[in-house]
């Protein structure tokens, strides 16, 4: 990824030409062309939750989070979901209770949960309890590698109840998380 930051804002950013994005896209096409699972015609429903401050992606600390906006991530997830024979429902909130309510409402509506809880990852017992209560397969994602950052970010309340965690790949963390979640659901069906 080519990233230039001036005064804390993105001046120029090119993710599309990066080798990492190209390699991820090539791998994704290979993965989707040889679908896994028993019921290949089933359409899976995934709830995608974005936690606090993720609405500021592309503006907030681009040297850590990159220049990709939340809208860009959501559009890519919708495209990927189509290839994976899935649908995504997306919600971003800066309020913990809204996220908890969305998790409760997901039961019986969605097959899986893809969540970047942002700072709530490290503080929210409520999100942990909500995910545990609905028993929906969950993949936790983070743009940055939380284990290479401040010590307080190393603990996740979600990880112990998630089927997996992907962090450190920028916006591709979401794509990889969606792929892993759909693969898990296909194998479980």
* Contact between 48 and 77 (Cβ < 8 Å): yes
Active site residues: 65, 142
Query: 167: which 2 tokens?
Result: 């962090």
**Integer Cα distance of 56 and 108 in angstroms:** 31
**Integer Cα distance of 44 and 21 in angstroms:** 25
**Cβ neighbour number for residue 89 with a 10 Å cutoff:** 14
Estimate to the nearest angstrom the gap between the alpha carbon of 141 and the chain centroid.
Answer: 4
What does the radius of gyration of the chain's CA atoms come to, in whole angstroms?
16
**Integer Cα distance of 63 and 17 in angstroms:** 18
């Amino acid at each position: 990824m080519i990233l230039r930051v001036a005064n804390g804002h993105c001046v120029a950013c090119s993710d599309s030409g990066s080798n990492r994005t190209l390699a991820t896209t090539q791998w994704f096409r290979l993965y989707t062309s040889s679908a896994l699972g028993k019921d290949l015609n089933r359409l899976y429903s995934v709830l995608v939750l974005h936690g606090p401050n993720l609405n500021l992606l592309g503006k907030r600390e681009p040297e850590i989070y990159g220049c990709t906006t939340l809208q860009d991530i959501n559009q890519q997830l919708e495209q990927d979901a189509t290839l994976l024979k899935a649908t995504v429902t997306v919600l971003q909130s800066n309020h913990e209770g809204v996220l908890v309510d969305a998790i409760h409402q997901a039961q019986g509506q969605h097959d899986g949960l893809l969540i970047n809880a942002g700072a709530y990852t490290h503080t929210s017992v409520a999100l942990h309890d909500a995910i545990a209560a609905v028993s929906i397969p969950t993949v936790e994602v983070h743009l940055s590698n939380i284990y290479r950052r401040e010590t307080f970010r190393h603990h996740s309340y979600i990880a112990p109840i998630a089927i997996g965690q992907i962090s450190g790949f920028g916006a591709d963390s979401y794509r990889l998380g969606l792929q892993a979640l759909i693969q898990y659901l296909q194998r479980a069906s």
